[in-house]
Amino acid sequence: MNNNFIINKDNIINYIQNYYKQHLKSPVLNGNTEHPFKFYHIKLYFKTWNNALIESNIPLNRNKCILMECKQCKTTFSKQFKEILKSYNDFCSHSCSASYNNRGRKMSEETKEKIRKKLQIIKYTNCKICKIEFSYRKRKNLTCGDKCLSDLKKLNNKKKRGLIIEEF
């Protein structure tokens, strides 16, 4: 911290503008950088950190999008600044991320066979709404489709609110 820094509104605005010129990005109040002022001073002079950035004519980080290149498929996509701070890798989709991270993964023949058998198993059950028998593979579904699922949700909401009383 700079001990010669006099804390007033103009000096804080000058500091923010200089930071932006040096780093080409808006400063973050609670980030790893140490500012010569505290949150108390921002609250006193500007009420919020965003107000301080606005008065300094600095763009807010939350609105900034940057064009990135996917590591897997090399397509160009936009990513928000806050998302860039959260992740190390840049992918356009979950599919590209999984493909990239599973590259070079070794699976035993036993594991491959288990996966193959699991995908071949088809199970049957009856729909809770229309009572038609339908098939599923991975997890048990309660309904045969989207329409029956929405009807089931409506029915459950009515039961929760006490509009329908089940007989035992």
Rounded CA gap, 12 and 38, in Å?
10
C-alpha to C-alpha distance for 156 and 47, rounded to whole angstroms: 46
| pLDDT single digits (tens) 51-73 | 888 889 887 766 567 788 999 99
Q: What is the pLDDT of residue 33?
A: 64
Same structural domain for residues 53 and 92? no
* Under 8 Å between Cβ of 72 and 91: yes
4 falls within a domain: no
DSSP per position, the chain? --TT---SHHHHHHHHHHHHHHHSS---TTSS---SS-HHHHHHHTSSHHHHHHHTT---GGG-EEEEE-TTT--EEEEEHHHHHH-SS--SSHHHHHHHHHTT----HHHHHHHHHHHH--EEEE-TTT--EEEESSS--SSSSHHHHHHHHHHHHHHHTTSS----
108 within domain boundaries:
no
Residue type for 150, please? S
Whole-angstrom distance, CA of residue 42 vs CA of residue 45: 5
- Confirm whether 104 is domain-assigned: no
Domain of 56?
9-63
Nearest CA-CA partner of 10 in 71, 70, 52, 67: 52
With respect to residue 127, please indicate whether it lies within any of the assigned structural domains. Answer: yes
Q: pLDDT value at position 110?
A: 93
Q: Are 5 and 11 in contact (CB under 8 A)?
A: yes
On whether both 33 and 57 belong to a single domain, the answer is yes
Alpha-carbon distance 15 to 11, whole Å?
Answer: 6
Same-domain status, 39 and 70: no
Give the global pTM. Answer: 0.37
What the block records as the tokens of 38 is 């505290």
What pLDDT was estimated at residue 64?
66
Within this chain, do residues 59 and 18 fall inside the same structural domain, yes or no?
Answer: yes
- Please list the rounded mean pLDDT of every run of 10 residues in the chain (168 residues): 72 89 80 75 86 85 74 87 78 89 88 83 86 82 88 86 66
